[in-house]
Structure 1
Amino acid sequence: ITLASPVPGVLDFVTPKEGDIVQAEQEIAGLQDDVVEAQRNVAKKEAENDVEKRYAVKAAEVAEAELRKSVEANRRLRNSVAAVEIERLQLAAERARLQIEQAENQMEINQLRYNEAEANLKTHHIRAPFRGTITRKFKSRGEAVRQGDPILQIVSTDEVKVEGYVTVLDSLRLKAGDKVEVQLTLEGFVQKEPFEGVLTLVEPKVDPIRGEIRVAARVQNPDNVLKAGLTATMKIIPQKGEAVQTTQLSR
């Protein structure tokens, strides 16, 4: 697959060379990210800031205490606190409670902004989606790229796709998930054990030229022996009945 730039920018580094083997999740290229990293750091500080909420909680405690004292005073001595003052204190207590909600809402917004800034920063770092070999290097450090510009091409070698054909009758006994065994037909190559894999496709239509059904499998490739362009035979082992041999197979 081709790894492209998720965002426009200037390449800060492109680590691997053509032919290098990289590991899954290895960081292999990155765009200059000073500005977006600073934005992320600011958003992080804002997300961690709970001063407004703590102040609102304290203010609410004071407002509730003042209201309770006035209500208690009226309970002991009727009309010692005017009704309009009680209403004012009730309003102040309610406003203080709403300020807590407002502070909590702002904290949630700040957290979302931080998440957005963190996600934006990650788009400036390109990681290998799987273990594989770098087959093409399109860009180098210092080059400007647009969104979607190809940077590297990587090919998985741990597992390969193989294709072949079976008769229509044989295809009726096959389904995705059946085990397969692949044997290379390479002159001079001695293969002790077949390459094992799993059937991934039994095409639902007949090939108009061959009159057969195309099948495909994912096959384990230890030591990177299986390579593009090689021919082989594949035995498909269905859950019921005898094994099916492909009539033609290519990697």
Structure 2
Amino acid sequence: MQTIVKTTLAAALVASLSVAMIAPVRAQQPTISSNGQVQTLVVPGNIEWIERAALAARREGILRHIEKSIGQEIKRGDLVAYLDSTMAELARTKAEMFAKDTSAIEMAEAEREVAATNAARAYRLRDINSKEEYELRQAQFKVADAKLKEEKSKYEQAAQELKMAEEAVAEHQILAPFDGEVLQQIKYPGEAVQSMEPVVHVARTDRVRFQGYVPLEMAYQLRKGMVVDVQPVIEGEQIPITQKRFRGRIVYISPELAFAKTRAEVEIKADIINNIDKELRVGHKANMTVYLTDDPNLIPAPPEDMLPVIPDPTPTPPVIGRRMDLGANAAQ
């Protein structure tokens, strides 16, 4: 019986330890850093994406080619994939022909010029010719003028139809919305694709975001723009990346409360700007050290292999150019 009780107690102890290990670690109290000049707040959390997107074409059709496959880097505006656009390209060629054809306008201009000449001649001879002749020439000029305006309107309409045809061709293309990397390919060449149906997933990998929670009473010490250092945490392993610091800034302090078991918490996020080597991966557990100061001289310098945080430019007051110009002219 004692053996059973001991076994049960041991199992319960192991289970409680497992739960304790799985439970998220809460933010620590602010502590004085080693340089004795600035307070820091250590916040546990996770790494998440800043920018991630499921890319799709705006038209339905047959996927013709994938330009950027899994793992390839992309730049904003790069062609990632495209659908078959044969019919759209033919429509664009037809619209281009109409948009470049100016023969109707040239003909209408010539007719208007003839009508204007006849009307002017009739005006000079109005005392010799009949009144009906004069009014006829004036009416013919008005008709020729109206026809010229109509042809010009058709030409402008053809130019707009060309833009629409070009847009229809562009809607078969899938372009990268930002710099990053292709994470997943969902569709393959030859497959039918519906409008706005995802074809590939892409994400920005050189910039990631830390997400964590702090107790409500500590949230009042935080402000957007505060400098932070993030260190990844890999339980049970000691690898070089856990010794690195990734610098960033707080970009979000939630206006809402998230309630834990015993206290209210506030969600905070910080953007890490120097994940150039892509060592910090989404899903990493990490600790974020917040420097509770606005004085850049009190913040430790970033590691040599890390990019420094570029300070936000000081906003300049708006200049009312017109009013200043009037003053300058008056002075002259």
TM surpasses 0.5: yes
1:24 counterpart letter in structure 2: R
Give the 3-state SS of the residue equivalent to 1:218 in structure 2. Answer: strand
The whole-number CA distance in structure 2 between the counterparts of 1:238 and 1:107 is 64
| Partner residue, 2:44 | none
Counterpart for residue 225 of structure 1: 279
SS in 2 for 1:135: strand
1:211 lines up with 2:264 in the alignment? yes
Q: Distance in 2 between matches of 1:164 and 1:180?
A: 13
> Residue 41 of structure 1 aligns to a residue in which SS?
helix
Report how far residue 157 of structure 1 moved.
Answer: 0.2
- Please report how far the alpha carbon of residue 107 of structure 1 lies from its aligned counterpart in structure 2 after TM superposition: 1.2
- TM-score when scaled to structure 1? 0.85
Deviation at 1:32, TM superposition (A): 0.7
Gaps of 5+ in 1: 244-251
Distance of 1:239 and 1:189 partners within structure 2 = 29
Q: What is the match of residue 10 of structure 1?
A: 62
Q: Deviations over 1:127-156 (max 9, x none)?
A: 122222222111111111111322111121
Q: 1:89 aligned to 2:137?
A: yes
Q: Percent identity?
A: 24
Q: 1:198 to 1:81 in 2, by over 3 A?
A: farther
Q: Report if the CA contact (8 A) 2:99-2:159 is conserved.
A: yes
Contact 1:166 1:212 in 2 (8 A): yes
Per-residue deviation, 1:3: 1.3
* 1:142 aligned partner: 190
Residue in structure 2 matched with residue 249 of structure 1 by the alignment? none
CA distance in structure 2 between the aligned counterparts of 1:39 and 1:18, rounded to whole angstroms = 33
Match of 1:43 among 95, 115, 128: 95
Q: CA RMSD in A?
A: 2.5
| Gapped regions of structure 2 (runs ≥ 5) | 1-52, 299-332
Whole-angstrom distance in 2 between the partners of 1:106 and 1:237: 65
Matches within 5 A, 1:1-251: 1-74=53-126, 78=127, 80-186=128-234, 187-189=238-240, 194-209=245-260, 211-220=264-273, 221-236=275-290, 240=294
| Larger-gyration structure (1/2) | 2
- Distance between the aligned counterparts of 2:295 and 2:218, measured in 1? 10
Instruction: Give how far 1:90 is off.
Output: 0.8
| Whole-angstrom distance in 2 between the partners of 1:83 and 1:145 | 70
Pairs aligned (count): 240
Give the TM-score normalised by the residue count of structure 2. Answer: 0.66
How far is 1:34 from its partner? 1.1
- Residues 226 and 292 in structure 2, CA contact (< 8 A), matched pair in contact too: yes
CA deviation after TM superposition for structure 1 residue 49, in Å: 1.6
Q: Distance in 2 between matches of 1:198 and 1:97?
A: 65
Question: Per residue, is there more strand in 1 or in 2?
Answer: 1
